[in-house]
């Protein structure tokens, strides 16, 4: 591995709270497996050229190392649920923009809904990209801002059913950018979102919060309301920069506000197996985070921006594309790990 890549992505291990044995495990796994994976996971690379189609995920043969260097597994088809709720709340966080938070919220939410999980996605970014990406209105409707400020008391009034069965949305628009200023003097200002969501928690199996790219009060509210945190991480040079700060923030929220919150996983996004660069960054991420790195890796493809323009999740916009299959796999992996019902 190039020394400058190592330097650019270096993190003080102590800050991460990753036990030494995990680091050792990760490094060993990477050494034994990562070099071979490149051959098997080429399909992701081919996809960036587009129209490569096909429903096969890369490298799904028995015990073939996946992009993370660990053996790829076929996660089982989830069993239908006999009852619903209360929801597990997962915040999708990374203070870096453009890493795939919103795309993951939409695509994972839709995949979970397709597996019969009642899913609520919350737009928690004033840009309103989640609402737009699902083709839903965010103006002249009740938004998360109205709930946070108590202008609307009933969270159910903000819920919109999307075109995907079982997938609901609470939208946001630019008004939300004023929320931090308004909430800063509130009593228990970090717990406002948790209180807002309490009345709808029993209606869903999972609630995904699409955070804005910052570690401000809104993100702290999301971390305080959440049971788990999923960190989408783009496979590029500066990927790990800032993640130490994010992990530190999660640790602080756990100490002071929400003892239950866990780091559910790191999701590598925009992976391009054709480039040595992508492979090296992923190798480094696994070296640092060990088995916190999810086995599912999301490849780079223009199908995602295309789906956003169409205002539809990838799972319905291009259900046979490997990108849709990848998010279905992510849904199965989270269910198999017990992070979603
Ligand atoms: P964030 O919410 O973290 O800012 P987005 O999900 O909005 O990131 O993604 C940023 C841009 O990258 C969007 O235009 C999106 O369509 C695109 N994108 C997201 N995931 C991928 C991917 N796997 N491959 C290619 N483009 C992607
Ligand atoms: Mg976003």
Please report which confidence band the pLDDT of residue 332 belongs to, taking 50, 70 and 90 as the band edges: very high
Distance (Å, whole) CA 57 – CA 235: 19
297 close to ligand 1 (CB < 6 Angstrom): no
- The DSSP string of 24-90 is HHHHHHHHHHHHHHHHHTHHHHHHHTS----SPPTT-STT-B-TTSSBP--PPPPPPPSS--PPEEE
So what's the pLDDT on residue 237? Answer: 85
Q: How far, in Å, from the CA of 310 to the mean position of ligand 2?
A: 17
Please report which confidence band the pLDDT of residue 62 belongs to, taking 50, 70 and 90 as the band edges: very low
So what's the pLDDT on residue 318? Answer: 97
Residue 307 and residue 317 in contact, taking contact as beta carbons nearer than 8 Å: yes
In tens, the pLDDT along 74-115 reads 889 999 999 999 999 999 999 999 999 999 999 999 999 999
Q: Calculate the CA dihedral of residues 221, 222, 228, 233 and round it to 10 degrees.
A: -120
Nearest residue CA, atom 24 of ligand 1? 300
Give Cβ neighbours of residue 105 (< 8 Å, ≥ 6 apart).
Answer: 92, 121, 130, 208, 209, 210
Nearest residue CA, atom 16 of ligand 1? 305
- The DSSP string of 83-136 is S--PPEEEEE--SSSSSSHHHHHHHHHHHHHHTT--EEEEEESTT-HHHHHTT-
Domains and CATH numbers, the chain: 84-274+290-336 (3.40.50.300)
Which pTM was predicted?
A: 0.86
- The DSSP string of 243-283 is HHHHHHHHHHHHHHT-TT-EEEEEEEESB-TT-HHHHHHHH
Distance (Å, whole) CA 257 – CA 260: 9
Q: Which ligand is nearest to the CA of 233?
A: 1
Residue 310 and residue 287 in contact, taking contact as beta carbons nearer than 8 Å: no
Beta bridge partners of 43: none
Nearest residue CA, atom 17 of ligand 1? 305
Pocket test for ligand 1, best of 100, 210, 325 (most atoms within 8 A of CB): 100
97 close to ligand 1 (CB < 6 Angstrom): yes
In tens, the pLDDT along 293-303 reads 999 999 999 99
Structure tokens at 194: 């948790």
**For the CA of 302, the nearest atom of ligand 1:** 25
So what's the pLDDT on residue 9? Answer: 57
Contacts 24+ apart (CB under 8 A), 332-335: 332/75, 332/76, 332/77, 332/78, 332/115, 333/75, 333/294, 333/295, 333/296, 334/108, 334/112, 334/264, 334/265, 335/75, 335/78, 335/112, 335/115, 335/117
Mean pLDDT of 183-195: 96
Average pLDDT value over all residues in the chain: 86
């Amino acid at each position: 591995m190039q020394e400058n890549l190592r330097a650019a992505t270096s993190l003080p291990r102590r800050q991460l709270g990753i036990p030494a044995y995990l680091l050792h495990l990760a490094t060993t796994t990477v050494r034994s497996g990562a070099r071979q994976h490149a051959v098997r996971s080429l399909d992701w690379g081919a996809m960036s050229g587009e129209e490569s189609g096909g429903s096969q995920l890369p490298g799904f043969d028995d015990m073939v190392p996946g992009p993370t260097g660990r053996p790829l597994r076929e996660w089982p088809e989830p069993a239908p649920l006999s009852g619903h709720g209360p929801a597990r709340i997962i915040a999708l966080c990374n203070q870096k923009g453009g890493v795939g938070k919103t795309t993951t919220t939409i695509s994972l939410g839709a995949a979970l809904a397709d597996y019969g999980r009642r899913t609520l996605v919350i737009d928690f970014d004033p840009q309103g990209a989640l609402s737009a990406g699902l083709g839903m209105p965010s103006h002249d409707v009740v938004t998360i801002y109205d709930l946070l400020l108590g202008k609307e008391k009933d969270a159910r009034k903000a819920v919109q059913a999307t075109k995907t069965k079982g997938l609901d949305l609470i939208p946001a628009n630019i008004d939300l950018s004023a929320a931090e200023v308004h909430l800063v003097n509130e009593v228990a200002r970090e717990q406002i979102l948790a209180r807002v969501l309490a009345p709808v928690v029993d209606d869903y199996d999972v609630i995904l919060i699409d955070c804005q790219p910052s570690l401000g009060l809104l993100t702290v509210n999301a971390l305080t309301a959440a049971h788990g945190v999923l960190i989408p991480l783009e496979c590029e040079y500066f990927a790990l920069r800032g993640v130490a700060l994010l992990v530190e923030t999660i640790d602080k929220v756990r100490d002071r506000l929400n003892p239950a919150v866990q780091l559910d996983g790191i999701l590598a996004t925009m992976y391009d197996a054709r480039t040595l660069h992508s492979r090296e960054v992923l190798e480094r991420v696994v070296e640092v985070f060990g088995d916190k790195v999810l086995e599912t890796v999301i490849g780079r493809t223009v199908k995602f921006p295309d789906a956003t323009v169409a205002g539809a999740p990838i799972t319905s916009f291009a259900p046979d594309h490997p990108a849709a299959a990848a998010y279905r796999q992510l849904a199965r992996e989270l269910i198999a790990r017990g992070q979603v019902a």
